[in-house]
Amino acid sequence: MAAYLEIKDLTKSYDGKTRALDRVSLTADKGEFVTFLGPSGSGKTTTLMVIAGFEEADGGSVRVGGVAMEGVPPHKRGIGVVFQNYALFPHRTALQNVMFPLLMRSVPKSKAEAKAKEMLHLVGLAHLTDRHPRQLSGGQQQRVALARALVFDPALLLLDEPLGALDKNLREQMQLEIKRIQRALHVTTVFVTHDQSEAMALSDRIIVFEGGRIQQDAGPLDVYLRPRTEFVARFIGDSNLLRARITDREAGIAEVEGLGPARVAPEDARALPGSDALLLLRPEVLTTAEAEHAPNRLVLAVEEVVQFGDSALLIGRAGGIALRARIAGRDAQGIGPGAQLPLAWRADAAHLIAA
């Protein structure tokens, strides 16, 4: 079965020299929530704009529901779009803003009003239908923009950093709301962000962009635990990346810079194209619990402790190599600069990346 959204070999250059998009290909299934994640200038927003029809690609194709989008103007693509600035009509009420796409599609006013009220109820704003944007909070305006993008039953929903203007608590609340609404309507959704925690919280699948190319296309946990490239490993979450050389693929033995021989997952070692690798140790996989018995042991010379309450980040060095470990906040009591802390990690908790 063909994917609902199909993008093949998109290319785009603004100056004729540098490619903003370099043969970008991806798919999304019906009802899937896919996030484009990457730094500024990585190509994620350009890809979204090409899907919406606001940008024209130099090459490649876009299909939605099996229909080719080349030559189809934005207003005829049946795609709902929500931008960071919401783009609400200031002189229209919340209800009138949500009705607008239906009236533009010649839906009778009574039916448009009923459908708009239904959508405002879905986003939790049934009691604010007569408010103008200036009378609404940032989160409420965002909900109106979302309702307006969904009211005409779009073939696809595109969200371009819609939570960027909200404070932390409201962002987290709206993340849950967006996911709830998306699941209720089962609308295929593409979400653009540079916020990795937002991508992890919302997505069925994350597509990581960098330099106009896709670096990885996988589920959130795979992107975090098994990044395909050094860029993804550094961009997603906190990381310790150590140079290593595989000395025994079958047994899973590697010589790690500064730490000496270490056990790694044999299947990871066998999958590498060569012997040189980067060993990824997320700070939370370094634990005090198994330090006496685990095969992979080290002693962290603690230089700094950053306490978060539920956890603590320990920054220091082991074997001359800078390392970061994250342990439970209560376990960090009494640990300070100068401490020599035994730590260990399980072989299957690390991940090898081709160097």
Sign of CA dihedral 134, 135, 136, 142: negative
pLDDT at 291: 56
Q: Say if residue 36 is in the same domain as residue 54.
A: yes
Q: What are the 10-residue block averages of pLDDT along the chain, 355 residues in total?
A: 90 92 96 95 95 95 95 92 87 96 94 95 93 92 92 94 79 87 93 92 96 96 95 94 95 93 93 93 86 79 94 94 94 92 92 93
On whether both 91 and 198 belong to a single domain, the answer is yes
| pLDDT score of 138 | 86
Contact between 279 and 350 (Cβ < 8 Å): yes
Shared domain check, 243 and 108: no
Read off the CATH number of the domain in which 183 is found. Answer: 3.40.50.300
Which structural domain range is residue 311 located in?
238-354
Return the amino acid letter for 187: V
Q: How many separate domains does the chain show? A: 2
**Residue 49, C-beta contacts closer than 8 angstroms, at least 6 positions apart:** 55
Amino acid 326 reads: R
Query: Of the residues 180, 199, 230, which one is the last residue of a structural domain?
Result: 230
pLDDT at 1: 61
Residue 135 and residue 56 in one domain: yes
**DSSP per-residue string spanning 185-233:** HT--EEEEES-HHHHHHH-SEEEEEETTEEEEEE-HHHHHHS-SSHHHH
126 and 26 co-located in one domain: yes
Q: Tell which residue, 156, 153, 150, 148, has the closest CA to residue 67.
A: 156
The candidate with the shortest Cα–Cα distance to 143, out of 155, 105, 131, 113, is 131
Within this chain, do residues 208 and 277 fall inside the same structural domain, yes or no? no
Residues 225 and 272 occupy one common structural domain: no
Residues 22, 40, single domain; the answer is yes
Could you say which of 194, 214, 230 is where a domain stops?
Answer: 230
315 in the same domain as 282: yes
pLDDT of residue 335: 92
- Residue 292, SS3 per DSSP: coil
Residues 220 and 336 in one domain: no
270 in the same domain as 214: no
Predicted local confidence at residue 290, as pLDDT:
62
Residue 292, pLDDT score = 62
CATH number at residue 281: 2.40.50.140
Choose one of 230, 250, 273: the last residue of a domain.
Answer: 230
Whole-Å CA distances, 145 to 177, 187, 193, 227, 301: 13, 16, 17, 34, 51
As given in the structure block, the two tokens for residue 266 are: 């044999």
pLDDT of residue 293: 67
| Same structural domain, 163 and 270 | no
> In the prediction, which pLDDT does 289 show?
64
